A and B are shown apart, each in its own frame.
Chain A
Amino acid sequence: MSLTILEVERIARLARLEVTPAEVEISCQQLNGIFSLIEALKAVDTAGIEPMAHAQDACLRLRADEVIYRDEDGTARALFQSLAPEAENGLYLVPKVIE
């Protein structure tokens, strides 16, 4: 298999990564190199093998439905928003969302 320039552009768009044409070119080569390694999987017979999504076969633990996070006075909010590129009146500000 071989990734095309178009596919690299498509996944870069999906991943929200700006790429220059030169970068696409290089990425395309590099990714194809990596995929040549990954292609080894194709030859493996995995019929009837359950996919392994987690390192252990355990079941999910649940937490009680309790409110344990409180920030009525906005102290934590102020701390968190001090990290934000832009925030105002308790809101995170982002470049206009155009629908």
Chain B
Amino acid sequence: MIHSDLKTLSRALKEKQISSVELARLFLERIARLNPELNAFITVDEEKTLVAAKAADLRLASGSAGMLTGIPLAQKDLFCAQGWRTTCGSKMLENFVSPYDAAVVTKLEHEAGMVSLGKVNMDEFAMGSSNETSWFGAVKNPWDKTCVSGGSSGGSAAAVAAYLAPVATGSDSGGSIRQPAAFCGLSGIKPTYGVVSRYGMVAFASSLDQGGVIAHSAEDCAFVLAAMAGFDERDSTSLERPPEDYSRLLGQPLQGLKIGLPQEFFGAGANAEVVAAVLSAVEEYKRLGAKIVDVTLPNSHLSVPVYYVIAPAEASSNLSRFDGLRYGYRAPDCNDLREAYTKSRAQGFGAEVKRRILIGTYVLSHGYYDAYYLKAQRVRRLIADDFRRAFQKCDVILGPTSPTTAFKIGERSADLVALYLSDIYTIAVNLAGLPGLSIPCGFDSNGLPIGLQLIGNYFAEARLLNVAHRYQEATDWHTRRPQEFCGEF
């Protein structure tokens, strides 16, 4: 049962083959047993989970259940959930029990009736690509526990890959859904900016952050995305669009689909095994009837520098509210207000967060704003314009998600610039606000999954998901399971 896709789980629940409580218990039992090895969950609360599962069973019994009612999920620990500790992977919020629900929590849990198994680990305030910046420790990759699970939604990916949850929410500001999905052999989608409400999702870089899903297949992603997306008047950047069924195009043929290959994504930076796997996926797409066209994203190499100006700038301001006055960590023995600020923030934030706050403070400060912040905003537009031009020639853009497969825990913590550059293929998508997804397309010689990235035009999620789905109908990469965690059920 734990390996079932969401359609199967939904049917099993509706046909009373299993109750939501029973299903939740199955996963809770696995979490209790396996999480200590992986460190995917930060907070588990059996009682709360079972209360929600019981409520779901009532809905199932009364016939008011939706497709996802009763299905468990893991919530990335930056979605505020009332009564749940919401830490953002930070000591700053170690004891913060949210007094309110994020829009995503309301939609998935209260409206769709999904059952939260708990809050999953993440890089501190979503700042990182390896989940090593979490105050609660690194998450281990279920495919190789000496490797990172990716980040920042590393807990989400590890939990789903190890079947501790059938699906998990994530957030993606520079690749934080797609890269961990790639590292853990999963499917993950970041929709167009503005499709999923950011209300209650603790902000890292507001103009880049977007909620999304990590699951075993594009199809599962489509079901969950449909339930979490939608206009929210509480988020001024939420787009007023009619609700969309993201699974509506699933199964449509790809005949005539134009897939753009940006030369910049296949250059010297990418690992040869990764490139080979991606290119064989291209061959598969040709067999499925797609046409391959060359496109160019000439400014994409600037996306990392642009990102490391804009994201820290926004973050430095977003994180000012964590001052230890109204909630969160307050350092002991502060003699005056200044000490309360500087000590609480110095002790409450980890090194990477502080580094980015310093970068952001600097690029916004007097005398540097034009040279850095404004300049980065202009280059951001150049990057977005590259995509606009590319989409005049193709329907989707295809490339690797990450230049490499999962790296060893600790391997890159000394070389920040190398770590930052590992997000080179994903960041541009956030800068432009486009939808992007990652699906598995093979394994390297160490048995680690390789991710394939598909980028769509604005609001092309349904099409993007079908492009991924057709590939998954033709291949079985997404059904492979990590030996150690494939489970005995």
Contact = CB atoms under 8 A, between A and B. Distances in A.
Contacts of A8: 358
A10 B376 CA distance: 23
A54 to B, nearest CB: 5
A61 interface: yes
B99 A79 contact: yes
A85 B330 contact: yes
A63 interface: yes
B270 interface: no
Given A41-B375, A55-B208, A95-B335, A34 B341 contact: no
B305 A38 contact: yes
How big is chain B's contact interface, by range? 35 or more
Interface string B301-345: 110111011000000100010011111101000111111111101
B382 interface: yes
Interface centre among A41, A53, A58, A61 (most CB of B within 10 A): A41
Given A34-B308, A52-B381, A95-B336, A61 B358 contact: no
B355 A27 contact: yes
A81 B44 CA distance: 24
Interface in A1-55: 3, 7-8, 10-12, 14-19, 27, 30-31, 33-42, 44, 46, 49-55
A47 B95 CA distance: 48
Contacts of A79: 99
A85 B92 CA distance: 12
A98 interface: yes
Interface in B410-426: 416-417, 420-421
Interface in A48-87: 49-56, 58, 60-61, 63, 76, 79-80, 83-86
Interface in B335-383: 335-343, 345-346, 349, 354-355, 357-359, 361-362, 365, 371-372, 374-382
Contacts of B237: 54-56, 58
A41 B305 CA distance: 7
Contact of B325 (A14, A17, A92): A92
B233 interface: yes
A45 to B, nearest CB: 9
Contacts of A12: 358
Contacts of B309: 38, 41
Contacts of A55: 193-194, 207-208, 237, 430-433
Nearest to B93: A83
B239 A95 contact: no
Interface string B229-259: 0000100110110000000000000000000
B323 to A, nearest CB: 7
A49 B336 contact: no
A41 B326 contact: no
Contacts of A98: 336-337
B382 A44 contact: yes
Contact of A52 (B340, B384, B416): B384
A15 B308 contact: no
Contacts of A31: 355, 358-359, 362
A72 B375 CA distance: 48
A5 to B, nearest CB: 13
B38 interface: no
A19 B166 CA distance: 43
Contacts of A95: 334-337, 339-340
Nearest to B316: A15
Given A8-B358, A46-B378, A51-B378, A19 B346 contact: yes
A40 B336 CA distance: 42
B361 A94 contact: no
A56 B239 contact: yes
Most buried by A among B208, B328, B359: B359
Contacts of B382: 44, 46, 49
A56 B433 contact: yes
Interface of A: 3, 7-8, 10-12, 14-19, 27, 30-31, 33-42, 44, 46, 49-56, 58, 60-61, 63, 76, 79-80, 83-86, 92, 94-98
Interface of B: 96-97, 99, 193-194, 207-208, 233, 236-237, 239-240, 299, 301-302, 304-306, 308-309, 316, 320, 323-328, 330, 334-343, 345-346, 349, 354-355, 357-359, 361-362, 365, 371-372, 374-382, 384, 416-417, 420-421, 430-433, 458
- Listed from nearest, the 5 A-B pairs whose CB atoms lie closest are A55-B433, A51-B377, A55-B193, A46-B378, A18-B346
